[in-house]
Amino acid sequence: MRNIFLFIRIYFTFIFFLLLMGVSIYMLFSYNSYHHAVYSKTANEITGAINKKYNGIEYYFQLKRTNDSLVKANEVLYNRLRQDFEIPDTLNKTAIDTMALDSTSIARKYLYMQAKVVSNSVNRPNNYIMLHRGALQGIKPDMGVIGINNAVVGTVVDVSDNYAVVMSLLHEQSNLSARLKKGGETGIISFDGKTHEILYMKDVSKFAKIHSGDTVVTSGFSDKFPGGLLVGYVKDIINDKSSSTYTVRVIPAANFESLQYVFIINNLQKKEPEELLNKVKNK
């Protein structure tokens, strides 16, 4: 027994070193799994508050760009107004739909909530975005996030009371189901960690006719995003002769570098299909 204590006393520094290393490496490999530790919640609150201060200054330098994108978003919305459409045939009449979408909560599927971006990165293999809106304001993990121009930005992975951390599309573990707007072929959008100007769309059928400049949109199969949201534009095709599918290089539509406001998508009808699927799986 005495020898054990002696051993510990002699090598205490080394044991302490191993202990600290062990703690760090445990944190590193447990962070992405689902049981989140207490420290990430507290740390998010603190770094969020500091990031918000910093963003207060940085925001001024991007006001012009933010303004431009808001005007563009407005333009899109104005073009959807009913009075902009006039039909010469008087038999057809555009009528106001009498169904009130908000009073019948069953009809509404997606609810959009705005949030301010307080910190953002684009140049790492795994990029995260921090939002100033958290659990107290109705954000839960696994909600989809889009930019002001309706382009997909990422998915919420972690929330604290007032802040949320979003896994950007520029993350090596991000997977998004997408389809080509023209042909309808589906694929998986992923990121290789190298440059933030390129995303990869994998598993696209070789029957697809793809041209550079084609639009890629969300497929609507995932419960995070409605179908038809912008993802990016086709750059070119990597034709791997040995594989039976194409990999397409896609330029992301979201402007990740100057993100200031985003919308978080809350899927109100998420529960029922999920339960159904679980029931089938358990059978």
Partner 1 sequence: MSNLVKNIIRFCLFVLAQVFILDKVPPLHQMATPYIYFLFILWLPFKIGRRMQMLVAFVLGFAVDSFNNTYGMHAASCVLIAYIRPFLINLLISQEGAESNYNEPSVQSMGFTPYLTYLTILTFIHHTCLYFLQALQTGGYVYFFLKSLISTAISLLLILLIELLFPRKQKFRTNTI
Residue-wise burial string across 2-41, b where 16 or more C-beta atoms lie within 10 A, e elsewhere: eeeeeeeeeeeeeeeeeeeeeeeeeeeeeeeeeebeeeeb
Q: Closer to partner 1 by CB, 40 or 245: give it.
A: 40
Nearer to partner 1 (CB atom), residue 73 or residue 198: 198
Nearer to partner 1, 7 or 54 (CB): 54
For the bound state, the minimum distance from the C-beta of residue 39 to partner 1, rounded and expressed in Å, comes to 7
Binding-site ranges for partner 1 (CB under 8 A): 12-13, 16-17, 20-21, 23-29, 31, 39-40, 43-44, 46-47, 50-51, 54, 119, 121, 123-126, 128, 165, 172, 193-195
Nearer to partner 1, 215 or 255 (CB): 255
CB 40, min distance to partner 1, A: 7
Q: What single letter denotes the amino acid at residue 8? A: I
State the nearest-atom distance from the C-beta of 196 to partner 1, in Å. Answer: 9
Q: Which is nearer to partner 1, 56 or 184 (CB)?
A: 56
Q: State the minimum distance, in angstroms, from the CB of residue 116 to partner 1.
A: 17
Q: What is the rounded CA–CA span in Å between residue 150 and residue 146?
A: 6
> What number of other Cβ atoms are within 10 A of residue 44's Cβ?
22
Q: In 3-state terms, the chain is what percent helix, strand and coil (to 5)? A: 30, 30, 40
Which residue in 197, 191, 187, 196 sits closest to 217, CA to CA? Answer: 187
Residue linked to tokens 């109100």: 268
